[in-house]
Structures are given as structure tokens and as C-alpha cells.
Amino acid sequence: MAMTAEEIESMIKEALPGAEVEMRDLAGDNDHWAAMVTAPQFAGKNRVQQHRMVYDALGGRMGGVLHALQLTTAVPTS
């Protein structure tokens, strides 16, 4: 069973308090997602570290329940 945008967003926000998450369904199938995650915890981290933080927040669901996630991360500007 695929994960909903709300489930993905909730898990990320729980692991990264203060994060802003924008979800987009890439294929209209609730199985291929794009996420834009902006979080203060990303400050001082490189892209690989930022992405790993998001994948860790998803608790190993990548490649299983969550088939595909196109991820963009950023540090808040203000």
C-alpha cells in the first residue's frame, strides 16, 4: 500500500520540527512523489546529509512502501 502525502509530510515534520514540506504527486498514482523540504536542521549540512536526514525521518520506508521520492532540500532564508 502506497504512502499518502499527508503520511510522508507528517513523518518528516515529526523528525524535523519546524520543517516546511511541500508534496507533489508526480504520476497521479500516490506512489511517485516529489517533496520540497525546508528545515532549520539543514543549516551547515551538505545535500547528501540533508537528504539522509529526510530518508531517516521516513524510517526505512524508501524503496518499500514509498516507491519513489524526488527530494529537494533547503535551509530557511530567514
**pLDDT tens-digit readout, 32-68:** 899 999 999 999 999 999 999 999 999 888 777 777 8
pTM confidence score: 0.90
Q: How many domains does the chain have?
A: 1
Q: Which domain holds residue 62?
A: 5-74
CATH assignment at residue 43: 3.30.300.90
Would you say 39 and 47 are in contact if contact means Cβ atoms under 8 Å apart? Answer: no
Provide the 3-class DSSP secondary structure of residue 7.
helix
Mode of pairing for the β-strands spanning 32-38 and 20-25: antiparallel
pLDDT of residue 3: 85
